[in-house]
Amino acid sequence: MSFPPLKNDNFLRAVRGEKVDHIPVWIMRQAGRYLPEFREFREKHNFFEICQTPAYATEVTLQPIRRYPLDASIIFSDILVIPQALGMTVEMRPGVGPVLPEPLVTVEDIGRLEKYVPVNVQEKLGYVGEAITMTRKQLEGKVPLIGFTGAPWTLMCYMIEGGGSKTMSKAKKWIYKSPQETKKLLSLLTDVIVDYLVMQANAGAQLLQVFESNAEYLGPDQFDEFSLPYLKQIAYRVKEKIGCELGTVPMTVFAKGAHYALEKLGQSGYEVVGIDWTVDPVEARKRVGPNVTLQGNLDPCALYAPKETLEKMAKTMAEKFGKHRYIANLGHGIYPDVPPENVEIFINAIHSACQ
C-alpha cells in the first residue's frame, strides 16, 4: 500500500533514537470527550458505531490533529473490540464506561470463547484496518499513525470483571485459584492480539502500542508470570510475522503501574516503554537503560493547573527526560473535563523545551 510521504517524522525519529527537531508529543485519548467536536459527534453516534464505521473513526482520529500541532495520531478504537471478536457483548454506557453484561465467571467459560478461535481478524476486526488505511490517506503525511491493542492481562480483567473494577479481585481470583486455566486464557488472547496487530501494520499503522493498563494490580512476581511473558511473545511474534516486506514496525509497551518491572520492560523487545507519572524520569532512564525510547509521563491532572504551573511542569519533565529517545505524553489518558486550551499550552511547552 502506498501512502503520502511523511512530513513530520519527529515521533518516528525519537522511536529510532535519531536526532529530532523538537521533542515529539501526543496524548493518550487525544480523540475524546474533552473536545467539543468529539462530544458533538458522539451525541449523534454510539461509541462502537464510531469504531466500526471507518469514515467516522477517521473523522474522530483527525479532530485533535486539526486542532493541535501534535506529532502523532492514534486510530480511534477501543481495546475491548477483541472481547467482541471473541463473541462477548460490550456496551459503552455514558457516565459508567464499558459494561460486559455476560462476563466470564468460571474457568469453564473459556469454552464460550473457544468457539470463536482461531479468530479471523480480517473478517471480525477488518473495520479497524479500513479505518487505519483511510486515516493514513486523509492525514496526507502530516504525522504518523499509531495502531494499538489491549494486552492479555488487561483484556482478561475486563472480560472477567464485566467492566471496570477498583480491585480486579475477580480476575485475580483466577490467578490464585486456577493459574493454568488463566494461562490458557492469556494465550488464547495473545494469539488474537498478534494477528490483530499484524493486520493493523499491514493496513498502514506506523507504530503499534500495547496497553497493559491493569499492570498496577499485579505485583512483581505475578507480573513476571501473568503479564510479561505474553507481552514479550506479542512483540516477538508480531515482528516475526510482519517480516521484511514492511520493514520493521516499531512497538510501544505501556504497562501502567509496573514501575517494579522497568528493567525487564526495557528488555522486553519493545522499542518504546511508556511510563506513568509515579516514576521519576531520571530514575526511569537509569532503569530501562539507554537503548529504548521513553514515553510519558505528566500527571493527567497537571492539565488542570494554571498556565504558568503547567508550562513549568512540562518544561521540567522534558529536561529530566532529555531530547534524546524521548516522546512526551501524559502518564495516562486525558480526562474529559480538561480545558482544551490547556492541551495547547502543554504541547507548546514541550515543543519549546530543550531547544
Binding site for ligand CP3 (CB under 6 A): 28-33, 42, 47, 74, 76, 78-80, 92, 94, 97-98, 148, 164, 211, 213, 333
Q: Which is nearer to ligand CP3, 23 or 74 (CB)?
A: 74
CB of 204 to ligand CP3, least distance (A): 16
Q: Which is nearer to ligand CP3, 147 or 311 (CB)?
A: 147
Query: β-strands 97-99, 91-93: how paired?
Result: antiparallel
Please give the Cα distance from 78 to 300 (Å, whole number). 19
Cα 335 to chain centroid, rounded: 16
Total residue length of the chain: 355
Question: Is 33 annotated in the active site?
Answer: yes
Question: Is 78 annotated in the active site?
Answer: yes
CB of 2 to ligand CP3, least distance (A): 25
The burial of 322, by beta-carbon neighbours within 10 Å (0-12 exposed, 13-18 middle, 19 or more buried), is given as: middle
CB of 211 to ligand CP3, least distance (A): 4
Let me know the angle formed at the C-alpha of 338 by 93 and 262, rounded to the nearest 5 degrees: 85
Active-site residue identified among 9, 42, 195, 276: 42
Q: Which is nearer to ligand CP3, 322 or 333 (CB)?
A: 333
Query: β-strands 293-298, 326-330: how paired?
Result: parallel
Q: Which is nearer to ligand CP3, 19 or 166 (CB)?
A: 166
What H or E segment, with its residue span, contains residue 174? helix 169-177
Active-site residue identified among 13, 29, 67, 287: 29
Q: Which residues contact residue 212 at a Cβ distance below 8 angstroms, ignoring those fewer than 6 apart?
A: 150, 151, 153, 154, 227, 231, 253, 254, 255, 256, 258
Question: Is 42 annotated in the active site?
Answer: yes
CB of 332 to ligand CP3, least distance (A): 6
Active-site residue identified among 158, 196, 217, 326: 158
CB of 193 to ligand CP3, least distance (A): 13
158: number of CA atoms within 13 Å, CB side? 26
Please give the Cα distance from 133 to 202 (Å, whole number). 9
CB of 243 to ligand CP3, least distance (A): 26
Question: Is 270 annotated in the active site?
Answer: no
Active-site residue identified among 33, 109, 116, 127: 33
Q: Which is nearer to ligand CP3, 57 or 228 (CB)?
A: 57
C-alpha cell read off for 187: 494465550
Q: Which is nearer to ligand CP3, 68 or 311 (CB)?
A: 68
Residue closest to ligand CP3 (Cβ): 213
- Neighbouring CB atoms inside 10 A of 184's CB total 14
Q: What are phi and psi of 209, to 5 degrees?
A: -105, 135
- Neighbouring CB atoms inside 10 A of 332's CB total 21
Question: Is 109 annotated in the active site?
Answer: no
Q: Which residues are catalytic?
A: 29, 33, 42, 78, 158
